[in-house]
Amino acid sequence: MMYKDLYRMASEMVPRAYAPFSKFKVGAALLSADGQVFTGCNVENSSFGATICAERTAFVKAISEGTMEFEAIAIVSSEGEAWPCGICRQFMKEFCDGDFKIITGDDEDSLKVYTMDEILPEGFRL
């Protein structure tokens, strides 16, 4: 799968996001090692700590279906380029090696691709 395809799938999730408080809608598309794609969007909550990001939604869907090996994730927001928050970076590190790719950009023609090691240097697992 091409990164542009993954980015498009993430873009399709943005309108599904529930973000009445921040108005910052995010979509994600997670590519597994076996070629499956799991999508997600952010879901806010009146109890802000209960909010879940698009990236974690996609990972939880994949893991709950038995998929544990991943290659890349595309992340898109209602504002264009979006980056994983600190919690999401650590969450992804739990399941991904340093070569895992994070894809974002303002549109599919201006994609930026970074590795897990680049966005979370010195990440850890217990």
Q: In 14-125, which residue ranges form alpha helices assigned H by DSSP?
A: 54-64, 86-95, 116-119
Query: What is the set of active-site residues?
Result: 55
Q: Which DSSP string do the residues of 96-120 spell out, in sequence order?
A: --TT-EEEE-SSTTS-EEEEHHHHS
Q: Are 91 and 59 in contact (CB under 8 A)?
A: yes
CA–CA gap between residue 103 and residue 29 (Å, rounded)? 10
Look at the block and give the residue holding tokens 């076996």.
34
